[in-house]
Amino acid sequence: MSELYKTEQPAHVGWAEDEIARSVNYRRLAKTAAGEPEMIKTASGSSVVKRVDANDAARAQKAGVVELTMLPRTGFRGNATAEWLAGQEYPIPVRPNLAAACAEGNWVLRLSQREYWLLANPNDLGKAISELPTSMTETPAGCYPLFCMDSHAWLMLTGEHVGEVLSKLSAVDMREQHFPLGSIAQTSIARVNAVMVRQQINGLPAISILCDVASSDYLWTVLMDAVQEFDGGAVGIDVLRSA
């Protein structure tokens, strides 16, 4: 990346010592120009940013970026997976690359014939998802828990400009008319592989970005750069939660 775009993460400051599970990006969120953001604990006991500042809602309407890496998610793969998930009342999208929202607000992503990822509902901060098994000894034969809580970061773009923001980063057309609610694209954004999901959360148009966790610092700088054109910026999870 050219020097023109480079930003360094601030030094480690003001982070609770008992915060043992950390997003790679926590420093970027620990302090902003507006001061310390408010934090909130997820169901698994880690922190995500609740609110960056008083203008979160306005930014989120245009082009918000939410860091949700510590919000629970998981994935399962194998021939027995669909049946097992259906048995727990999760909706099974009819085809790969489609996502379905559960009644309680979690999302089920179907990535292939036999691979499903589950994304937590911001409202319950991931309670249901965090209780799902993480070891293959706890799942039926032919259903293997995946590692997307750690292998991937979860960033979310919100607002009316999500399609335009992503048109600067990805060769896949993710404007709403070509990438409607529930669409999934497994593709490359800004040269990092990611799973993109079109959602609607708390009335906001949103696209979740599940990308390689080691590249998420890089992708954060890319997203921050891309949303500037639309007066967007970082926002907290509160914009995704119903009051």
Partner 1 sequence: MKIMPCPLNGPRNISEFVYGGEVTSLPDVETAPDKEWAEHTFYAYNGTGVAKEWWYHVASGYWFIAERHRVTDQILRTYDPSEDRTLFPAAATTDAAAATQPSAEAVKEEITE
Partner 2 sequence: MSTAASLPASGQQSRLPEPMGLLLDRSQTVQFSFEGQTVSGYKGDTIGSALLANNFWMWSRSFKYHRPRGPLTMAGHDANSLVQLPSEPNVLADRMAAASNMKVTGQNVNGTLAKDKDAILGHFGRFMPVGFYYKAFYKPKGIWDKWEGFIRKKAGLGIADLDFKPDYHDKQFLHHDVVVVGSGPAGLTAALKAADGGADVLLLEETSVLGGSLTYAAFEDLADPEALRLQLIQRVQDHANITVMTESVCNAWFADNWLPVLHGKRLYKVRAQECIMATGSYEQHVVFRGNDIPGVVMCSAAMRMMKLYAIKPGQSAVVLTGNDDGYLTALALHQQGVAVKTLLDMRPQATSAVLLKQVEQAGIKVRFGHTVYEALGKEHLEGVEIRAITSKGEVAPVGESMRCDLLCMSAGYMPAYQLLCQAGGQLSYDDERAEFAIRNLPDHLHIAGSVNAKHSLKAVMADGEQAAIKALRLLGKTEERESDVSCGKVVNFEWPIFKHPKGKDFVDFDEDLQAKDIINATRMGYRDVQLVKRFSTVGMGPSQGRHSALPTARLVAKSTNRTVTETGVTTARPPLTPEKLSYMAGRNFDPYRQTAMHHRHVELGAKMIPAGVWARPGFYPPAGQLMTGPEGSPLNPVARKIRNTAIETESLHVRSKVGLIDVSTLGGIEVRGPDAAELMNRIYTFGFLKQPVGKTRYAILTNDQGVVVDDGVSCRFADDHFYVTATTSGVDAVYRLMTFWNTQWRLQVDITNVSAAFAAVNLAGPDSRKVLEQLTDIDLSKDGFPYLACREGSIKVPSGATIPARFLRVGFVGELGYEIHVPSRYGEVLWDLLMNAGEGYGIKPFGVETQRLLRLEKGHIIISQDTDGMSHPGELDLGWAISNKKPYFNGMRAVDIVMKRPQSRKLVGFRLPADVVARGVKPEEGNIVLAENLTAADITGNVTSCEYSPTVGAVIGMAYVGFGTKGNQTEPGTLIPIRVDSGEVVMAEVVEMPFFDKEQARQDM
The residues of the shown chain that bind partner 2, judged by CB under 8 A, are 1-2, 4-5, 9, 11-12, 18, 20-24, 27, 46, 69-70, 77-78, 136-137, 141-142, 144, 146-147, 149-152, 167-171, 173, 175, 178, 190-192, 212-215, 217-219, 222, 225
Near partner 1 by CB under 8 A: residue from 9, 32, 97, 202: 97
Minimum CB–partner distance for residue 203 and partner 2 (Å): 26
User: Is 227 in contact with 169 (CB distance < 8 Å)?
Assistant: no
186 binds, among partner 1, partner 2, none (CB under 5 to 8 A by kind): partner 1
Minimum CB–partner distance for residue 95 and partner 1 (Å): 6
Q: Which of residues 106-125 bind partner 1 (CB under 8 A)?
A: 111-114
Q: Rounded CA gap, 10 and 32, in Å?
A: 10
Q: Among residues 145 and 239, whose Cβ is nearest to partner 2? A: 145
Residue 115, phi then psi, degrees to nearest 5 = -125, 130
Report helix, strand or coil for 94.
coil
DSSP tag of 136:
G
Near partner 1 by CB under 8 A: residue from 32, 187, 218, 231: 187
Is 172 near partner 1 (CB under 8 A)? yes
Residues 6+ apart with CB under 8 A from 79: 114, 142, 143
Q: Rounded CA gap, 201 and 51, in Å?
A: 16
167 binds, among partner 2, partner 1, none (CB under 5 to 8 A by kind): partner 2
Q: Among residues 59 and 110, whose Cβ is nearest to partner 1? A: 110
Alpha-carbon distance values, 84 to 14, 144, 210 (Å): 43, 11, 24
Question: How many Cβ atoms are within 10 Å of 127's Cβ, its own excluded?
Answer: 16
